[in-house]
A and B are shown apart, each in its own frame.
Chain A
Amino acid sequence: MSQAALCIPILPPAISRAVQVLPLLPLSLSLTAYSRRVAKNHPSLFRRLGDYGHARFILDPTDLPFVIYLEPNGGAPRVTVRRRSVTADGEARIAGPLAALLGLVHGAYDGDALFFSRDLVVEGDTAAALALRNAVDDAELDLAEEIGGMSGPLAKPLHRLIGFIEGRTGVFLSRPEEVAPW
C-alpha cells in the first residue's frame, strides 16, 4: 500500500528570474540580522545543535538561483547568500523546493516523509543535518512573526500580505495554526 507524495509548490521560473537581480551582499547582511533576532528569541535551538553549533549548513532552495550558507556560530549566526554557480564547502547540504524548506522550518511537513519521497535531498554529514532538523523542529519557529517583530507599525499590513501570499501559493511563510486541542 502506498500513497502519492505531498504536492510541494514549486516557484514559477519567472519568480526565480526576477530574484536573480537581488544584490547578494545586502541580502546576506539582512538575513544575518534576521537570524540573530531568531537566535535571541530561540536560544534553545542553538543548544540543541550540540556538536554542530559551529558547523556550516548549505540550504539549497532548488527553485531559486542562489544557495544559502548558514553558520550557527554558537548562537551568533551568520548567513551568506551565493549564486548557485559559486560553490563553497559545508558540513551538510539540505536541498529541496523553497516551499519544502519553509514548510519544514514551520513544522508543517515531516522531514523524514519529505526525504523518503525524494522532495528533500540530504548530502554530507547526515548527523549535522539531523541535528539542525531536530533543533529547528523543536524551536516552533514562525518566520513571519519574527519579521513582524522587526517591522514596527508595518507589522499588521505585512502580516495580512503574508497571509494573502500563503493563501495564493500554498507556501508556509508562517507557522500553521494548530487545530483545536482534542
Chain B
Amino acid sequence: MEIVCPAGTPAALRAAVKAGAHTIYCGFADETNARNFPGLNFDRAEMREGVAFAHAHGAKVLVAINTFPRAGSEHIWHSAVADAGAAQADAVILADAGLLDYAARHHPDLRRHLSVQAAAANADVINFYAKSFGIKRVVLPRVLSVAEIAEINAETDIETEVFVFGGLCVMAEGRCSLSSYATGKSPNMNGVCSPASHVEYVDTNGKLEARLGGYAIHRVGQGEPAPYPTLCKGCFSAGDKTGYLFEDPVSLNAEQLIPQLAKAGVTALKIEGRQRSRSYVAQVVRNFRAAVDALEAGRAMPQGMMARLSEGQAETTGAYKKTWR
C-alpha cells in the first residue's frame, strides 16, 4: 500500500521522503489549498525543487488545489493547476467540479485525484467524476466504515485513498460552516479552518481558555491537554450540562486497521497534518512505513506509539468502526 504524507514546508517534504514516504502531498502558499496558514506551503520555485528532490529519491508529489474557486478569481486556481503541471507534479488533488473540468480540458496529461473536500462517499458519484473528469483516485471522506469502503471498491475501478492518522472533521467533508460563522473565513474558500489570526489562548488563574473569533470555545484546568482551537472540538455549557457538542477532541489513528483496509481494496493511506512540523512528519511516516512493510511481509502490525503527536493527545478509529455516540 502507498503511504501519502503531508508536507507544509520544503523541509517537511525532505523529512517525509527520507522517512520512507511513497508519496507527499503539499500546496502552494495561497488560498488554493486547504491549509493556507502563516509560514506554511510552497512558492513556485520551492515546488519545483521539492518535486525534483522527491523524484530523485523515488517518491511522488501530489499538489493539493482543493479549495473552491471564488467567482471572478478562477484564474488563481487555473494558474495553480498549470504551475503544478510545470513543476512536474505527479498529480493534482482537486475538489471543485469546474476546476476538474478546466484541468481535464487544459492539462489532460496531468493526473487528477478527487479531494476529500468533494465529499464523494459512494460509488455512483465517484464513477460520475471518473467519467466526466477522468479522475484516477478519490480521497474518501472520514465518515465511512471499512465495510462501506469495501462496497465502494467493489463498484469502481478508481483508486481509493483513506485517512489513517491525524485530525478529524465531524462535518461532511467540504461542507463545514462553523469556522466561517465565527471568523468570516471559510475552510473551503480561503483554505483556513479556524485561522490563526482569529485564535487566542488566554491563561486566567491557571485555567487555559481557547477563543475563536472572540468566542470562548473551551477552558481547561492545569495539567489537562491544551484545548484545540476549532468550534467542532469545543466544549460548551448549557444549563447544568457541559460537554463536547460536536465531537471529542481526539485524533484519528487507524494504524491497526491497515490489514482490513488492504482487504477492502484501499490503494493508499493518507496522513493528515500539513500544518505540523517536520519532526511530526518524520515520526508518523516512519511508523506507518513500518506498518505497511510489516503487512506486506506477513508480520504482525507494530504497536503504535503516536498518541503524543495526536490532537488532544487522544485517539480514535473514527468512523471505520462506527463507535461514535
- A109 at the binding interface (Cβ < 8 Å): yes
Q: Given A127-B195, A130-B196, A134-B40, A6 and B201 touching (CB < 8 A)?
A: no
* Chain B residue nearest in CB terms to A111: B277
- 8 A Cβ contacts from B276-298 to A: 276-280, 282-283, 286, 289
Closest beta carbon of chain B to A82's beta carbon, Å: 21
**Mask for B174-211, Cβ within 8 A of A = 1, else 0?**
00000000000000000000011101111100001000
Contacts of B307 in A (CB 8 A): 1-3
Q: Given the known A-B contacts A1-B314, A110-B309, are A52 and B38 also in contact in the complex, defined by CB atoms under 8 Å?
A: yes
Interface-central residue, A6, A49, A118, A128, by most chain B CB under 10 Å: A118
**A29 adjacent to chain B (CB < 8 Å):** no
Counting CB contacts under 8 A, is B9 at the interface? Answer: yes
Knowing A126-B200, A127-B195, say if A51 contacts B313 (CB, 8 Å): no
Judge whether A20 is part of the interface by a CB distance below 8 angstroms: no
A6 and B308 contact, CB distance less than 8 A: yes
B44 at the interface (CB under 8 A from A): no
A123-B11 contact, Cβ under 8 Å, with A110-B280, A112-B311, A181-B18: no
- In the assembled complex, the CB of B195 is this many whole angstroms from the nearest CB of chain A, namely 7
B138 CB to nearest A CB, Å: 27
Alpha-carbon distance A6/B280, docked complex (angstroms): 13
Tally of B interface residues using CB under 8 Å: 49
Q: Is B19 an interface residue (CB 8 A)?
A: yes
B309 touches A113 (CB 8 A): yes
Once bound together, how far apart are the Cα atoms of A108 and B11, in whole Å? 13
Within 8 Å of chain B (Cβ to Cβ): is A19? no
Q: How far is the CB of A4 from chain B (nearest CB, A)?
A: 8
Residue of A nearest to B200 (CB): A126
Asked if A33 is at the interface (CB within 8 A of a chain B CB), the reply is no
Contacts of B199 on A, CB cut-off 8 Å?
126-127
Across the two chains, which residue of chain A brings its CB closest to B59? A182
On whether the beta carbons of A118 and B38 are closer than 8 Å, the reply is no
A126 to chain B: which residues have CB within 8 Å? 196-197, 199-201, 229
- Tell yes or no: A151 within 8 A of B by CB: no
User: 8 Å CB contacts to A: which residues of B243-287?
Assistant: 275-280, 282-283, 286
Q: What is the distance, in angstroms, from B191's C-beta to the closest C-beta of chain A?
A: 14
Which residues of chain A from 37 to 63 have a CB within 8 Å of any chain B CB? 48-52
Q: Are B313 and A116 closer than 8 Å at their CB atoms?
A: yes
B170 CB to closest chain A CB (Å) equals 19
Contacts of B19 in A (CB 8 A): 182
- CB neighbours (8 Å) of B229 from chain A are 126
Contact B11 A118 (CB under 8 A): no
Q: How far is the CA of A178 from the CA of B208 in the complex (A)?
A: 35
| CA gap between A182 and B309 in the complex, in Å | 21
Question: Looking at the complex, which one of B10, B20, B202, B314 makes contact with A2 (CB distance below 8 Å)?
Answer: B314
Contact residue among A113, A118, A127, A134 (Cβ-Cβ distance under 8 Å from B280): A113
Query: 1/0 per position for A136-148, CB-CB distance to B under 8 A?
Result: 0111100000000
Chain A residues whose CB sits within 8 angstroms of the CB of B278 once the complex forms: 107, 137-138, 140
Contact between chains at A107 and B279 (CB < 8 Å)? yes
B90 an interface residue at 8 Å Cβ cutoff? no
Closest to A130 in B: B196
Q: Chain B residues with Cβ under 8 A from A138's Cβ?
A: 9-12, 39, 278
Do B315 and A1 touch (CB < 8 A)?
yes
Counting CB contacts under 8 A, is B225 at the interface? Answer: yes
- Expressed in whole angstroms, the minimum distance between the Cβ of A21 and any Cβ of chain B is 30
B144 at the interface (CB under 8 A from A): no
| Cβ contact within 8 Å between B39 and A113 | no
Q: Is A78 interfacial (CB-CB < 8 Å)? A: no
Q: What's the least CB distance linking B197 to chain A, in Å?
A: 4
In the complex the two chains form, what is the Cα distance from A116 to B228 in whole Å?
Answer: 8
Q: B305 near A: Cβ within 8 Å?
A: yes
Q: Tell me the nearest residue of chain A to B225, going by C-beta.
A: A116
Asked if B37 CB lies within 8 Å of chain A CBs, one says yes
With A113-B309, A118-B226 known, 8 other A-B pairs at CB within 8 A are A2-B313, A51-B38, A110-B279, A112-B309, A127-B195, A138-B278, A181-B18, A182-B20
Query: Which 4 pairs of residues, A with B, have the shortest CB-CB distance?
Result: A134-B39, A182-B20, A131-B38, A138-B9
Binding site for B on A (CB under 8 A): 1-6, 48-52, 104, 107-113, 115-118, 121-123, 125-135, 137-140, 178-179, 181-182
Q: List 27 A-B contacts (CB under 8 A).
A: A3-B307, A3-B308, A48-B39, A50-B38, A52-B38, A107-B11, A108-B279, A110-B276, A110-B279, A110-B280, A111-B277, A112-B280, A112-B309, A112-B311, A113-B308, A113-B309, A116-B225, A116-B312, A125-B197, A126-B196, A126-B199, A130-B196, A131-B38, A134-B9, A134-B39, A137-B11, A138-B9
